[in-house]
């Protein structure tokens, strides 16, 4: 077999790395990512479409298998990864990585957690698998430039999920290389238009990645093989025309992508976030911390190219609303915040929000586009009916690694999502168990609380 140097180096690192080799900061961030992902999945599982999907897909409850988070049921690992990954995307609150231009954790966590549960593996093994799966998936996203017509969900995250599974099962170098090559061919032909048009199929992309990550392991275990370098072919020629292999190993073992992640608190697409950060700054300076939406004559948003695409003034459903700057601005002014309640089916059809959204104009500013990817800037101008003009701008999204949320802010988010599902006491216990997950010999010690 002809070996590829970068892939050899990557595989050797994955297989040889132990949790003791990692900086404490990376381990602690992995715990934060795990807690955040579990809360986001649990809350997303309450959406009617996810409940219906669970009934269609899950099959008979089996307490010996993996948890469908937020549903109080268990099923085989691949199905649990599919459902949990889908649920975790629904609310647009899952964490991400701006350099990878996507969301590594929601592809990796469902697969890793489901397999760790079904195999009764330790918390330490779960954490190292999460960190390395995240690392590989994010690095692929950095190394390639996925076609603009594609959605990043369901693409390189599949390989990240597979690597996490392989690490959990202690794959040797030969098997890990094969796993990467096989999983690279199991990516989806995803469409970016789905998110703009409210196509809910988009929410299943990340769930499919987790499912495929487990399937890749099953295929390799059964003797299937892939290309000699599936990564370079798929991510350099099929879904992208460039793949910088140097990015797969640059700073490997010293730079950790999980430490460059971001968390979200606005319950909508990240491309909205700079605009909403700026809007909330304006609102915070107003009397009583808000502006009456009835006083707004019109709004202008100048932003970068990707965000400027989010210009739909009449979103048809919750997903379309989350990918609409006009609606996000309007619903924030109507409700006074940017939480989950602003993007429910009821909120999407709120007459005041819909009427105000039609007064919000979004334009691209080439100077702001030129600041990407290190910055995701936006400027917003509110013209009030009395002639007052209010302006603000944001260049770094709140929650990015340059301006991170505090532990207390992340805990507040966790509680807002987890307590309605499990109640205060159980949610608190789950959070405490995750904080000490590296001391747990069997992850079922804390996942069993999901059924409470």
Residue finishing a domain among 394, 416, 435 = 394
Residue finishing a domain among 394, 425, 442 = 394
User: Backbone phi, then psi, for 250, in 5-degree steps?
Assistant: -60, 120
Q: How many domains does the chain have?
A: 2
Residue 368 shares a structural domain with residue 411? no
The reply to whether 401 falls in a domain is no
The reply to whether 399 falls in a domain is no
Residue 452 has a pLDDT of 72
Residue 366 has a pLDDT of 96
Residue 382 shares a structural domain with residue 417? no
The reply to whether 186 falls in a domain is yes
CA gap 104, 36 in Å, rounded: 13
Say yes or no to pLDDT of 141 above 90: yes
Residue 387 shares a structural domain with residue 410? no
Average pLDDT over residues 334-339: 95
Average pLDDT over residues 406-425: 97
The reply to whether 128 falls in a domain is yes
Contact 430, 38 (CB under 8 A): yes
Say yes or no to pLDDT of 389 above 60: yes
Residue finishing a domain among 394, 420, 441 = 394
pLDDT band at 4 (very low <50, low <70, confident <90, very high): low
For residue 182, whether the previous peptide bond is cis, meaning omega lies within 30 degrees of 0, is: no
Residue 258 shares a structural domain with residue 274? no
Average pLDDT over residues 106-126: 98
The 10s digit of each residue's pLDDT in 65-93 is 999 999 999 999 999 999 999 999 999 99
Residue 355 shares a structural domain with residue 414? no
User: Which segment of 21-35, 53-67, 133-147 scores lowest on mean pLDDT?
Assistant: 53-67
pLDDT band at 124 (very low <50, low <70, confident <90, very high): very high
Say yes or no to pLDDT of 3 above 70: no
Residue 236 shares a structural domain with residue 97? yes
Residue 1 has a pLDDT of 42
Say yes or no to pLDDT of 231 above 50: yes
The CATH number for 32's domain is 1.10.4100.10
Contacts of 246 (CB under 8 A, 6+ apart): 6, 143
Residue 126 shares a structural domain with residue 246? yes
Average pLDDT over residues 304-327: 95
Residue 387 shares a structural domain with residue 426? no
The reply to whether 115 falls in a domain is yes
The reply to whether 400 falls in a domain is no
The CATH number for 366's domain is 3.30.1330.120
Residue 424 shares a structural domain with residue 289? no
The 10s digit of each residue's pLDDT in 38-65 is 999 999 999 999 999 999 999 888 877 9
Say yes or no to pLDDT of 412 above 90: yes
The 10s digit of each residue's pLDDT in 294-305 is 999 999 999 999
DSSP string, 146-203: E-TTS-STTSTHHHHHHHHHHHHTT--HHHHHHHHHHHHTT-----THHHHHT-GGGG
DSSP string, 330-364: HHHHHHSS-SGGGGSHHHHT-HHHHHHHTTEEEEE
Residue 379 has a pLDDT of 97
Residue 370 shares a structural domain with residue 412? no
CA gap 288, 195 in Å, rounded: 35
Residue 2 has a pLDDT of 46
User: Which segment of 168-172, 258-262, 369-373, 435-439 scores lowest on mean pLDDT?
Assistant: 369-373
The 10s digit of each residue's pLDDT in 240-250 is 989 999 999 99
Residue 55: give the domain boundaries.
Answer: 5-264+406-451
Residue 299 shares a structural domain with residue 343? yes
Q: What is the mean pLDDT of the chain?
A: 95
Residue 342 shares a structural domain with residue 221? no
The reply to whether 334 falls in a domain is yes
CA gap 200, 178 in Å, rounded: 33
CA gap 198, 195 in Å, rounded: 5
The reply to whether 14 falls in a domain is yes
Residue 374 has a pLDDT of 80
């Amino acid at each position: 077999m002809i070996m590829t140097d970068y892939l050899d180096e990557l595989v050797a690192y994955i297989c040889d790395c132990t949790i003791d080799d990692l900086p404490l900061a990376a381990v602690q961030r992995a715990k934060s990512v795990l807690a955040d992902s579990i809360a986001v999945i649990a809350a997303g599982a309450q959406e009617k479409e996810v409940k219906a999907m669970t009934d269609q897909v899950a099959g008979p409850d089996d307490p010996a298998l993996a948890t469908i988070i937020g549903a109080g049921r268990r099923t085989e690992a691949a199905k649990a990864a599919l459902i949990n990954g889908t649920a975790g995307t629904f609310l647009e609150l899952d964490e991400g990585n701006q350099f990878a231009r996507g969301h590594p954790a929601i592809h990796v966590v469902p697969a890793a957690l489901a397999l760790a549960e079904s195999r009764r593996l330790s918390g330490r093994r779960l954490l190292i698998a999460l960190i390395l799966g995240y690392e590989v998936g994010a690095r692929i996203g950095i190394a390639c430039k996925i076609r603009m017509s594609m959605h990043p969900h369901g693409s390189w995250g599949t390989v990240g999920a597979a690597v996490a599974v392989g690490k959990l099962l202690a794959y040797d170098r030969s098997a890990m290389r094969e796993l990467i090559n096989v999983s690279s061919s199991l990516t989806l032909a995803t469409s970016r238009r789905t998110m703009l048009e409210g196509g809910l199929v988009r929410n299943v992309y990340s769930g499919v990645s987790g499912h495929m990550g487990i399937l890749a392991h099953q295929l390799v275990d059964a003797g299937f093989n892939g290309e000699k370098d599936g990564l370079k072919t798929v991510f350099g020629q099929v879904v992208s025309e460039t793949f910088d292999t140097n990015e797969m190993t640059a700073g490997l073992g010293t730079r950790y992508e999980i430490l460059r992640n971001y968390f979200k608190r606005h319950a909508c697409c990240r491309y909205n976030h700079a605009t909403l950060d700026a809007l909330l700054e304006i609102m915070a300076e107003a009397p009583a911390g808000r502006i009456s939406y009835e006083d707004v004559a019109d709004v202008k948003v100048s932003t970068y190219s990707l965000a400027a695409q989010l210009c739909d003034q009449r979103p048809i459903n919750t997903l379309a609303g989350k990918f609409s700057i006009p609606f996000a601005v309007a619903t924030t002014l109507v409700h006074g915040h940017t939480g989950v309640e602003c993007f429910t089916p009821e909120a999407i059809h709120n007459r005041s929000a819909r009427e105000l959204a039609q007064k919000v104009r979004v334009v691209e500013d080439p100077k702001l586009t030129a600041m990407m990817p290190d910055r995701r800037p936006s400027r917003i101008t509110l013209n009030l009916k009395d002639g007052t003009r209010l302006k603000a701008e944001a260049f770094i999204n709140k929650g990015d690694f340059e301006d991170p949320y505090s532990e207390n802010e992340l805990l507040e988010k966790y509680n807002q999502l987890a307590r309605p599902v499990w109640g205060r006491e159980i949610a608190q216990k789950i959070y405490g168990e995750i904080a000490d997950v590296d001391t747990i010999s069997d992850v079922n010690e804390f996942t069993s609380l999901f059924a409470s």
